[in-house]
Structure 1
Amino acid sequence: MFRALMVGLLGLWVGCAQAEAVLKVVRGELDFPPFEMQQEGREAGLHIELVEAAAARAGLKVQWQRLPWKRALRELELGQADAATYVSRTPEREAWAIFLDDNRLSSTELRFVVRREQAERIRFDGDLPRFLGSIRKPIAIRGFQFGVPAVDQVKKLEARNLDDLLRLLHEGAADVAVLNWTDFQGSYGGRPEAQAVQGLSPPIQRMHNYLAFSKVRAATGLAQRMAEALVAYRRTPEYQALLKRYRVDAP
């Protein structure tokens, strides 16, 4: 009986260890090359490879799930996922997510974008309140928060995705769109859609994109474990090769 009990306890311990070895990570359902996308039915991109390389060093297996962005953040907030990728840091999100500097995955630029023929007429000098007060409602992708209160709080036309945003901009539904310029260049660089618009300078903000962890899921230990693994991975030649392959600078 004692032996059977010990075997049962050992099996329970092994089962728990296996469960703890899985890192459930959610991401948005849209593709944003070169950071996150699907290729031949598999997750791909800089963030994907970076998280998986660090997880392997930390002894974790990543379980990916693609969801509409608002739902992905809600899963993180409710503790139904350990972590989410491509999360910008805002005071609101800090209430339910853990942001560690070493868990930064990339940096991107937020810019106002206009039709190229309007670039001479519509100019941005860095004064956000004055600029936003001088234009019609800008367009942004539905559900996105940029971590810039003046931009996040202004009323906007909502687009389903980048294609829809460009369509609305070219149809004249608005004169200005606000978007992640780095994402846009990665998705549309060299295509006619990219040639038809222009990003205004200066950028609104340079944003850091995190692997954010759930506070409800008590993932502080996992967050630190992944941060240490990412620090170690960034010291390797493989990390430099990864940045070079995706043509991305270190955050």
Structure 2
Amino acid sequence: MTGHRGRRWRYLQAALAALPLLLPAPDAGARAADNPASRAATVTLVCGPLPFVSDGISCERGIGAELARAACDRARLTCTFQQFPWPRAQKEVEMRQADILIGPFRTPEREAWMEFSREHFYVDQMWLFRAVPDNGPIPGADGLSHIGVPLGWAVGGDLASRTGVTVEIVRTVDIGLNLITAGRLDAVAAHARAVARYLDEHPGVRFLPVEQPLSVQRSYMGFSKTFAGSLERRLFEAAYESLLADRLYADILARNKPFPDMRTEVATRGHQFPKEP
């Protein structure tokens, strides 16, 4: 009897040992999401005061900021958020003091010290904006000799090669627009988001775009070189990409229109001015 019980015990041990091999293995993403150790590190996100993309002292408002927060929640990551002036926010990621920068445009210069998300979340058209007198005509491109470009911005276009044009770096879009009203600049390179915020705060002035757009720029999530190869980056980016196909993204986009009459275009991830009749 003793030998019989011993054989049965050995058979039971063998069956228990083989049981895990018969069960379906969870995928890598599920294992990472369910493993508390994989989420132990705190992910540091920084933003600049980018209208309708990231705003607030803790990056709590705007398309990119709201997406980043939702991605952290969906990936079950511990994340901290802090806003800096835009040049400083970029430097935080370049010097590897922060992990993720919300909303940078992709440029060869930035690719030297930062990796970009595979997918962008917003498309901007960069224009030259000029002041318009009350009830005055839409301004043209004539007489553009002094053009302001915001510090740290990638505006694209051919401004540097234009004959008779002086490009002046201005600290912010708001300062550039103030210089136009003071008669010290003719135009400022900017996108509709920045100008819309300025007009909200200065209802007595008007600015409109002239010429054709200088360039089309896309806003991404930017990752520091040290963070780019981490598990946390993979979890964040997977969650972020899933949000771009989610109804939540459409709601965020519609809630953050620069001008009330602009159309929300989820398919192209942007807003468009209504076409002239």
- Partners in 1 of 2:60 and 2:159 — Cα distance? 31
1: distance between equivalents of 2:64 and 2:199? 19
Aligned residue among 176, 190, 193 for 2:187: 176
**Structure with higher RCO (Cα < 8 A, 6+ apart):** 1
Query: How big is the alpha-carbon RMSD for the aligned residues of Structure 1 and Structure 2?
Result: 3.0
Counterpart check, 1:113 vs 2:129: yes
Identify which range, 227-236 or 241-250, moves more after superposition: 241-250
Aligned to 1:227: 237
Counterpart mapping for 1:139-154 below 5 A: 139-146=148-155, 148=156, 150-151=158-159
Give the Cα–Cα distance (whole angstroms) in 1 for the partners of residues 213 and 221 of structure 2.
23
Find the aligned partners of 1:47 and 1:218 in 2 and give their Cα distance. Answer: 19
In structure 2, the residue corresponding to 1:204 is in which secondary structure? strand
> 1:190, CA displacement in angstroms?
9.2
1:54 and 2:71 are equivalent in the alignment: yes
1:186 offset after TM fit, Å?
A: 4.8
Deviation readout 1:28-81 (Å, 9 max, x if unpaired): 1x3x43222228x77222211111111111121221121122121111112111
Aligned-partner SS, 1:101: coil
Deviation, 1:245, is 2.5
| Structure 2: gaps (5+ residues) | 1-34, 258-263, 270-277
Q: Distance in 2 between matches of 1:159 and 1:223?
A: 34
Structure 2 counterpart of 1:130: none
Which stretch of structure 1 is more off in the superposition, 152-161 or 48-57? 152-161
> Aligned pair 1:123/2:144, yes or no?
no
Please give the alpha-carbon distance, in whole angstroms, between the structure 1 residues aligned to 2:107 and 2:161.
13
The 1:187/1:68 distance shift into structure 2, 3 A limit, reads same
Structure 1 gaps, min length 5: 1-13, 125-133
2:151 is the counterpart of 1:137: no
Return the alpha-carbon distance in structure 1 between the equivalents of residues 160 and 93 of structure 2.
20
| 2:43 counterpart of 1:27 | no
Cα deviation digits, residues 114-136 of structure 1 (max 9, x gap) = 12259766328xxxxxxxxx732
Helix, strand or coil for the counterpart of 1:192?
coil
Q: Would you say how many aligned residue pairs link Structure 1 and Structure 2?
A: 221
Give the equivalent residue in structure 1 for 2:248.
Answer: 238
Q: Which secondary structure does the structure 1 equivalent of 2:265 belong to?
A: coil
Question: Identity of paired residues, percent?
Answer: 23
Question: In the alignment, residue 226 of structure 1 is paired with which amino acid?
Answer: F
* Residue among 217, 230, 243 paired with 1:207: 217
Secondary structure of the structure 1 residue equivalent to 2:45: strand
Q: State whether structure 2 residue 217 is matched by structure 1 residue 197.
A: no
Compute the displacement of 1:145 (Å): 2.7
Judged with a 3 Å threshold, the aligned counterparts in structure 2 of structure 1 residues 59 and 197 are, in CA distance, closer, same or farther, namely same
Q: Deviations over 1:141-173 (max 9, x none)?
A: 223233x26447886323333332211011111
Structure 1 range deviating more: 134-143 or 203-212: 134-143
Match of 2:24 in 1: none
**CA distance 1:145–1:238, shift in 2 (3 Å):** closer
**Cα gap change, 1:213/1:34 in structure 2, threshold over 3 Å: closer, same or farther?**
same
Contact 2:59 2:65 in 1 (8 A): no
**Structure index of larger Rg:** 2
SS in 1 for 2:145: coil
Q: Are the equivalent residues in 1 in contact too, given 2:227–2:233 (CA < 8 A)?
A: no
Are 2:113 and 1:96 aligned? yes
